[in-house]
């Protein structure tokens, strides 16, 4: 009798475990199809700056220092680029940036310049080392809102030390989208610089 009871007990437990797995799998499948960290817009269409972007997937840091750009680079900082985890997952599965994808470009100045070329000496050698944060540019894919710029909207939340703006208006095509239309690698994004997105 005892053996029979524990057998029933074991199969009940097994069934429960299976049911729990099914619940988890369904949740996974849903998360895989739509962007979870959705862009937030105000009633008048401004984008709310995502504050937890640095917990997302980091894809790369192009750097265009002043010293290599006639002393005046448009963006002399490291351009640290992040994408939401769910958008990243969908892109890796489908090769397409889903609606609601956000690219957050955090601008980060070099730590210090010891030399004319803007480089500094540190324990690991001479080079460019990350320092203070200095602004943010953001791109959002929303084909319904931004039909005239290939489905992407472009926003600047300030090009200076924090604090940055909490919301920003979409910038006109000539300010941002035009250059992305002309030169980006894939669907308005410069994927050629982001090895993880290739
Ligand atoms: C003259 C060309 C040009 C203009 C104008 C331009 N960008 Fe870009 N953008 C680039 C290039 C090149 C990269 C990737 C390399 C880098 O960051 O240096 C990039 C990268 C980005 C990224 C990271 C995702 C991606 O597409 O690679 C964002 C976000 C972004 N730009 C937003 C903006 C915003 C907002 C504006 C307008 C204020 C703007 N850009 C104007 C050339 C441009």
Average pLDDT for consecutive 10-residue bins of the chain (198 residues)?
Answer: 48 47 43 88 98 98 91 93 98 97 97 93 97 98 98 98 98 98 97 97
Tell me how many degrees the CA angle 107-109-112 measures, rounded to the nearest 5: 170
Q: Whose CA is nearest to atom 7 of ligand 1?
A: 176
Rounded distance between C-alpha atoms, residue 4 and residue 20, angstroms:
24
CA 194 to chain centre: 11
**138 CA: nearest ligand 1 atom:** 29
If you measure from the C-alpha of residue 176 to the centroid of ligand 1, how many angstroms do you get, rounded to a whole number? 7
Residue 26 in contact with residue 83, Cβ under 8 Å?
no
Residue 47's alpha-carbon distances to 19, 55, 69, 136, 194, in angstroms, are 40, 19, 31, 13, 24
pLDDT confidence of residue 32: 61
**182 CA: nearest ligand 1 atom:** 2
Rounded distance between C-alpha atoms, residue 180 and residue 148, angstroms:
13
Rounded distance between C-alpha atoms, residue 9 and residue 17, angstroms:
12
Rounded distance between C-alpha atoms, residue 67 and residue 160, angstroms:
19
Within 6 Å (CB) of ligand 1, which residues are found?
Answer: 62, 64, 79, 81, 103, 105, 137-139, 154-156, 171, 175-176, 179-180, 184, 189-190, 193
Rounded distance between C-alpha atoms, residue 35 and residue 102, angstroms:
10
**189 CA: nearest ligand 1 atom:** 26
Q: What number of other Cβ atoms are within 10 A of residue 180's Cβ?
A: 19
């Amino acid at each position: 009798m005892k053996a029979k009871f524990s057998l029933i007990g074991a199969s009940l437990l097994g069934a429960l475990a299976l049911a729990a797995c099914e619940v988890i799998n369904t949740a996974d499948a849903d998360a895989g199809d739509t962007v979870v960290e959705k862009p937030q817009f105000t009633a008048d269409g401004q984008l709310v700056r995502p504050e937890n972007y640095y917990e997302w997937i980091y894809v790369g840091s192009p750097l265009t220092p002043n010293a290599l750009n006639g002393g005046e680079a448009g963006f002399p900082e490291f351009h640290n680029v992040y994408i939401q985890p769910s958008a990243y997952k969908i892109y890796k599965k489908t090769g397409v940036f889903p609606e609601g994808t956000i690219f957050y470009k955090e601008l980060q100045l070099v730590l210090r310049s010891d030399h004319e070329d803007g480089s500094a000496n540190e324990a690991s050698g001479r080079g460019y080392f990350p320092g203070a944060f200095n602004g943010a540019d953001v791109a959002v894919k929303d084909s319904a809102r931004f039909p005239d710029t290939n489905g992407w909207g472009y926003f600047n939340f300030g090009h200076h030390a924090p604090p940055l703006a909490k919301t920003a208006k979409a910038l006109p095509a000539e300010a941002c989208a035009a250059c992305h239309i002309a030169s980006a690698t894939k669907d308005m994004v410069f994927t050629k610089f982001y090895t993880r997105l290739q």
